[in-house]
Each structure stands twice: as C-alpha cells, then as structure tokens.
Amino acid sequence: MSELLARHRAVMPNWLALNYNEPIEIVSGKGNRVVDADGKSYLDFFAGILTNMIGYDVPEVREAVERQIATGVVHTSTAYLLRGQVELAEKIARLSGIPDAKVFFTNSGTEANETALLLATYARKSDQVLAMRQSYHGRSFGAISVTANRAWKNNSFSPLNVHFLHGTDRHLTQFKGLSDADYVKACVDDLRHVLATAVANDVAALIAEPIQGVGGFTMAPDGLFAAYKEVLDEQGILFISDEVQTGWGRTGSAFFGIQNHGVTPDMLTFAKGLGNGFAVGGVVARGDLMDAPHAVGLSTFGGNPISMAAANATLDYVLDHDLQANAARTGEIIISGLRAAAERLSVVKEVRGKGLMFAVDLESPQQAARFMEETKKAGLLAGKGGLYGTAIRMAPPLTLSVDEATEGLGIIVDALETIDAEAAQQ
C-alpha cells in the first residue's frame, strides 16, 4: 500500500484528501461491506460519500448495466433519443412533486447546481443569490460562490452576488437557548433585513441543502424553509433545494429532504446515490423555468445509457423495497442509541440526524481524526466534516439491516468511549 500511496502523491493534487493515517484501497464489496487490499472487511457507514446508496454488487443494478453494455451502445449523446433517459425523467418528475416538471441530466451534483443557478439567474435577470451559512454546493466556480465554508473555498471571486442566511448555526451566542419557533422567527427577521438592506432590485433564488453535507449534517429545524419561502414568494424569488445528499428517502421521514419542511421547491438538484456508483446528476424544475433559456444546450455525458440503466434500476429498487421506511427504522436504532450514549460521554457535543444521515460532533478535530482511526481498526468506515472539522458524519446504504445497524452502533459507541476515556486522562 505504501507504494500505491507514493504513486498517488506523485501524480494527484495535494488537496485531494485521503482518509486515515494509512489510506486503504477498497478492492471488493458485497451488500453493505467492503474489503481492502489487505483482506480486511469493513461495514460501510459512508457509502462512497453517500453514493453507493443500495450497497455493493446489487444484482438488479449489475444486470441492468450488463444488458445495456451487451447492446454495444455505451454512449450516443443527447443529440439522439435515449429511452432510459426519458423513463428516468418521467419517474423523477413524478416523485418531485414539482408542477409541470422537466428534468435535465448532468454528471454530478456540482454540474446540477450550476445548471439550477443558470436557470434561476436567467429567469430572474439577476445575479443576486441567497445561500445558507455553512453550506457546500460543489467545487466549480459558481458552486464555490454559494458555498459558505472557508475550508472549501479557494478564492473570493464569484460570477454571482451572494448573501448568506442563518438557519443551521444555532451554536452562535445570539441563538443559544432559543426554541425552534423563536429560532425560525429570528432567521426570518434576518432574511427580511437582508432583502431590505443588502440587495438591489430582484434576487434570483435561494439555494439550500435541507441537511448540510460537508457542513457536518447540520440542519435547519423543520419548517424554517417553509417560513423562508413565504418571504421569497412575496418577491418572486425562486427556491432551489440541493438534494444531492438528502434525496431518495435517505432522511426516512420524507423522500426528498425539503419535504420535511412542507415545501415544494421551484427546482431540485440531485446526484450521488441515484446511480449507486455510476455518475449521474441532474435538475428537475418547473417546465417554464427549464424551457426558458434561448441558447442551445446539451450535456455530452448527461443521460448516458449506462448511467441511465444503473439509475433506473437503483430508483426502482429503492421504491420496490420501500427503503425510505428502512432508513427510518434503522436510523432510529442508531440515532437513539447514540443520544443515549452521549449522555455519559463528555466528548460528545451533539448527536443529530434524520434516518440514515447522522452525525456526532466532538470537541476537537483531533478527536474526530482519532474516531476515524478507531472505527477503521474495528472494521467500520465513516466520514468527517463540519465547519470546524469536529463532526463525524455517517450515511450507510439504505439497505442497512437491523443487525448491521446494531453492529455499527456498537462500534461507534466503543470508539467514543475510548476517546472519552483518553480525554479524561489528559
């Protein structure tokens, strides 16, 4: 492994982060487990950053991809009719709840968010955009401009005029101790103040993650975005829900994360889990917004026949097996277990989450790194994040069993107990 790591560092950029002091190479997977090059098995609680949504070596997905490859048509481009693309768009449009919805496919969440921002700024003839503090929307020029996490912003240049809102920052002094209702009121007052003071004329859109991914699974209280949308609607400002991480039933309580707020957005972006490892992203938007741009457009690989075969099979599997209900069931086992353990662990500042999307906030980045090493040693893969690098974020495949949920919970609690004991000795 040291040889491969040296080769990686010689040809890959320094900012391409690797997990663990001794990074692993994953060489095989089955169900919700993977095996590294040394033969060690891991229960995967990060799913390729929420992308292997229904686990590994799923026959329905593999066979769908193999059938498409067997035709000899791996790619044609959007210059031709693509049956799989149309079929998938029909399903997504129906599931989105957006009226008269149309869908445009891309390769990633970054591209999807860029497309949504293009549609919004075109429709509103404005470069002014609202976004959330602590947010992350991708690594491209426009996506970085609506990202509010300094660790992920490379420069201050922007094609957009962006103003950031409160909603996921209840740790700040001015919000501590507020009830959900009072916090929502304070955030709405701030939104109205921003619109009265910081912007000129029309604002194009608010883009928001229902649960912030890189932000460490921080989230607005249910109902905040409904309150925001009332204000936005007064001025015709569009609402974009970034569902790259929260879509397809992962929160357990809703199929798309924004539905937890009782909101139907004007646009919804998606990626990651839909292809179960195959590259797919996209935007679903009201037909009038999607049809409006006057210039010709395409996505060379968006709607690729292989990705569409994988995504159709994955979405069908999620629906046929009611994996949203499974996320609610197994997520409750883990989240309730973590909250119970947190009562006796001083290093745990907060446990938060919905369904199979949950996080543990620790006291320091060093403790978060220590947790990663401890759970790796015990055979569980997790992820890091958070504004201050203190959050452990986990999002197992939606196919996680009750036994696996219990097993994973045990490994997590054991690691937290080890870190807590070490902290007590310092």
In this predicted model, what pLDDT tens digit does every residue of 245-286 receive, in sequence order? 999 999 999 999 999 999 999 999 999 999 999 999 999 999
Question: Residue 352: is its pLDDT beyond 80?
Answer: yes
Q: What percentage of the chain has pLDDT greater than the value 70?
A: 100
Bridge partner list, 210? none
Rg (alpha carbons) of the chain, rounded to whole number: 21
Residue for token digits 């220590």? 370
- Taken in order of first residue, the domains within the chain and their CATH numbers are 2-60+322-425 (3.90.1150.10), 73-320 (3.40.640.10)
Q: Global pTM?
A: 0.97
State how beta strands 357-361 and 391-394 pair.
antiparallel
For 167-181, the pLDDT digits (tens) are 999 999 999 999 999
The three-state secondary structure class of 206 is strand
Strand spans (E) along 160-235: 161-165, 205-208
Name the residue type at position 317: Y
DSSP 281-295: EEEEEEHHHHH---S
Tokens of 301: 């690989």
pLDDT, position 1:
64
